[in-house]
Amino acid sequence: MPTNVSILKPQLAFFLAHGSKGIELLENFIFQFREKYTILLDGKFNEIENSLKAYLHFVFCTLKAHGVTINPFLGEKTFQFT
């Protein structure tokens, strides 16, 4: 296990507060740092399955972040996709 792990954890809400310019800034931030750091987007998503899938597509496919925080508010089954 590496002892020298570097993680950046940007809070999504602060970027969203600035609309499309904030999303563009977040995209640039992730692009600039994703090779050197693990990017864990702090989004605390909690939603029904189809909406959560859209959030996860945004995080992993659009932004290409390495991970995201998820709030289990709706229970463990929320995370079990078919």
Greater confidence, 43 or 45? 43
Greater confidence, 50 or 6? 6
Q: Is 19 left (phi over 0), alpha (psi -120 to 50) or beta?
A: left
Cα Rg of the chain, angstroms: 14
Would you state the pLDDT for residue 82?
45
Catalytic one among 9, 21, 36, 44? 44
Mean pLDDT of 58-82: 77
On the 0-12 / 13-18 / 19+ scale of CB atoms within 10 A, 43 is buried
Reply yes or no on whether the pLDDT at 1 is more than 90: no
CA angle 52, 53, 55 (to 5 degrees): 60
53 is catalytic: no
- pTM strictly above 0.85: no
Q: Read off the pLDDT of residues 15-35 as tens digits, 9 standing for 90 and up.
A: 999 999 999 999 999 999 999
Reply yes or no on whether the pLDDT at 58 is more than 70: yes
The residues that bridge with 42 in the sheet, in sequence order, are: 11
